[in-house]
Amino acid sequence: MVQWQVMSRCLVTADLHSNARAFEAVLADAARGKGFDELWVLGDIVGYGPHPEECIRLVRDYPHACVGGNHDLGVLGRIDLERFNSDAALACLWTRGRLSTEAEAFLGALTLRLERAPFLLVHGSPRDPVWEYVLSERVARDMPPYCEADHCLVGHTHRAAVYRMGGCPRGSMGAVLNGTVLEFGAEHLIINPGAVGQPRDGDPRAAYAILDREEGTIVFHRVAYDVEGTAEAMLRGGLPECLATRLHLGL
């Protein structure tokens, strides 16, 4: 039985990837209407984009619950950069030299799993929070032994999606679109809000979700931001050109 806590509305984000203009657009969009009480970040605050320090500062401006992702660990030197593709590794090295001591300490203190009942927050998957991608119902089906919470919130794939943990009696759920409202019921779900800073589902707009714990719903959103300015900042900063190009495509 789901126990919804009183503190109600959470802004759920993942994969900010040092894209401060996208993150600001999300924060402003989410503040409209009923707003939000707490910011949840499902890893990869940094890597790829031009504004690592700014993104960490923005997270710290809000009451937050935040887990680390593979890029956060890569930037800190806690995982071997050979496990990344060459552009991602270059971006990790680029970021490493640009963080303040405070920002580095913030990333260094992040845990990989965080419980906010009835949710587990991780970057990749409950089985492997750092590297595993949940991109199908088949993978989601294997997760119950690794997740004691009713539902799991993940990032890492950069695609907004919902999957059922432990089987799928009525067909796949998969990708979700802007404006989708999901009501929590008896089924245990794995939910990905999509990426703020580098969407990969063909829609370049920043993705996020609003979880209303009182109503028992999660609503998926997309918001436009200054892609052009961000891509230019990446090129000016000397980040790989293809990382800037892919922002325009949302791929």
Spatial distance between the Cα atoms of 19 and 44, rounded to a whole number of angstroms: 11
Q: Could you tell me if 68 and 110 are in contact, meaning their C-beta atoms sit under 8 angstroms apart? A: yes
Tokens for 83, please give them.
């496990």
Per CB under 5 A, does 201 bind Zn ion?
A: no
Q: At closest approach, how far in Å is the CB of 95 from Zn ion?
A: 13
Q: At closest approach, how far in Å is the CB of 157 from Zn ion?
A: 8
Is the CB of 11 or the CB of 184 nearer to Zn ion? Answer: 11
Q: Which residue is nearest to Zn ion (CB)?
A: 44
Q: At closest approach, how far in Å is the CB of 65 from Zn ion?
A: 18
Q: At closest approach, how far in Å is the CB of 42 from Zn ion?
A: 9
Tell me the per-residue interface mask from 63 to 102 with Zn ion, x by CB under 5 A, - otherwise: ----------------------------------------
Is the CB of 126 or the CB of 155 nearer to Zn ion? Answer: 155
Q: Measuring CA to CA, which residue among 70, 11, 17, 14 is closest to residue 230?
A: 17
Is the CB of 24 or the CB of 72 nearer to Zn ion? Answer: 72
3-class DSSP assignment, residue 147: coil
Tell me the per-residue interface mask from 9 to 48 with Zn ion, x by CB under 5 A, - otherwise: ------x----------------------------x----
| DSSP code string of 158-185 | -SEEEEETT--TT---EE--TT-EEE--
Q: How many CB atoms lie within 10 A of CB 34?
A: 12
Looking at residues 215 to 244 of the shown chain, list those that interact with Zn ion (rule: CB under 5 A).
none
Give me the count of residues in the chain: 251
Q: At closest approach, how far in Å is the CB of 229 from Zn ion?
A: 21
Q: Could you tell me if 128 and 112 are in contact, meaning their C-beta atoms sit under 8 angstroms apart? A: no
Is the CB of 46 or the CB of 211 nearer to Zn ion? Answer: 46
Q: Per residue, what are the HEC states of 53-93?
A: HHHHHHHHCCCEEEECCHHHHHHHCCCCHHHCCHHHHHHHH
Residues that bind Zn ion (CB under 5 A): 15, 44
